[in-house]
Structure 1
Amino acid sequence: SKSTRFPDGLANSSGSVGRYLTDSTGSDVAGFIPSLLDGIPHNEDGAGGMHVFMPWWLENANLDFPRGYHIEPWGGRRMPSFGIFGGIERYPSGGGWGQTLKEDYRRYYGAVVGFSGRGEMIPNAHSYCEIDPDTVDRWGIPVLRFRFQWSDHERLQSRHMQQTFREIIDDLGGTSLTPEPNRENEFRLEPGGRIIHEAGVTRMGHSTDSSVLNAHCQAHDVKNLFVADGGPFVSQADKNLTWTIMALAMRTSEYITDARNRGEL
């Protein structure tokens, strides 16, 4: 979108277009719970939704990271999916061949529970997307390339997730099946983009020096340009973005209609 009128790209006088890309943090632990062994075969597909939601309860705690995360427990005896029990040799005395392997599958099915954390990322200028100057798609259109970088805010949050989930599994008398977290694996923090709650890159704000859009999702530099997706988000909590995106899109649409009726667009 660079031109003589917009040498740094359309609506990019602030230099913020593409910057401050965020995603939800994510980290998981699975555990084997002996008390759930040898369950009576039955199906739990109709029980509840995709997960039970455990909200953040440590807002005022003395922690080494900002913000927080929620917990999604999972497990049960739902319809098996492809590849289930891959790595059964990690279970206590699990695995083998033939009939023994089949018996272990039945014995262990339903005896595994897991916990997934989804939290808030602090935006940083080192996470961004930009137009690749050298690569185009099959139709000749330049593609996006991404640079994503977590900070210690997110790494320490993931460490807290890992510690919490392992404590729960231990209190249940279980054994963690997930490899240990450490600094080298970023405390088992999922890569950026894995949780697919991306936001930012055209953030809203009052200052034209540090934001792309105003409070109505209207570009500061181009009055007939609006962004009605996840781009305006300055930050995001641990929740999915969809409903807020829809609400902002409706609000932006109403503003556009009113502005046109006033002859401002």
Structure 2
Amino acid sequence: MSLRTISSATALALDQHLLSTGSFSLDQLIELAGLSIAQCMTLLSPPSKSPHILIACGPGNNGGDGLVAARHLHHFGYRPIVFYPKPGSKEVYGRLRAQLDFLGVPFTDDFEVELGRCDWVVDAIFGFSFSGPVRDPFGSVIALLAETTKPVLAVDVPSSWHVDLGPPADGLGAAYSPDVVVSLTAPKECMRAFKGRQFVGGRFVGQQVADMFGFDVPPFKGCDQVVEVVAVGERL
């Protein structure tokens, strides 16, 4: 099926609507997003086939999604390892990190070494609110992701891509295109430039809210938190 895309401005307004009128907490949104990412990994490759998952987390909510995904992947039987060089300042991120420490999920300071050892990579560095230049160590990580032959799953948008315009024309990120993207709630406009496998995750809203913000609710089955879509359509 083909889904409509939403702009970065609409994504921000939707996020604010969920936190205010929808009465969601930030913790809830991050938890549901991270669960959908982990479930998507089970659909892509079971832990018996690809147990070693390297998760690159940024300092914002996208990184929080990655931390939650690591916890669920651990419980699902994978062996995640987390690269989290710049922890976010919000209290929720500290708790998510502590939960992983409690389970014994390891962290690494050397992304390149672990990239050589892993079976899959999760790009949870930057989300729809990112703007500005990419600074190290994340610039180096994105350069490695552009070169690796390991399969990559990106959370919401591929890191370094412009949320509305897609990959940069040149420079850092121009050659980076992950194998899979899990869009949260709705595909962002940059997904019109993406040619890999596309999923939608995060069951936050019903059709009434979707109609209000101009996007589609995909046909989730049963208790699934993620659904694969064939392509995304032009924004209306």
Q: TM-score range by the shorter chain?
A: under 0.3
Structure 1 or 2, whichever has the larger Rg, is 1
Please give the TM-score of this superposition, normalised by the length of structure 1: 0.23
Please give the TM-score of this superposition, normalised by the length of structure 2: 0.25
**Going by fraction, where is helix more abundant, 1 or 2?**
2
**Which has the bigger relative contact order, CA under 8 A and spacing at least 6?**
1
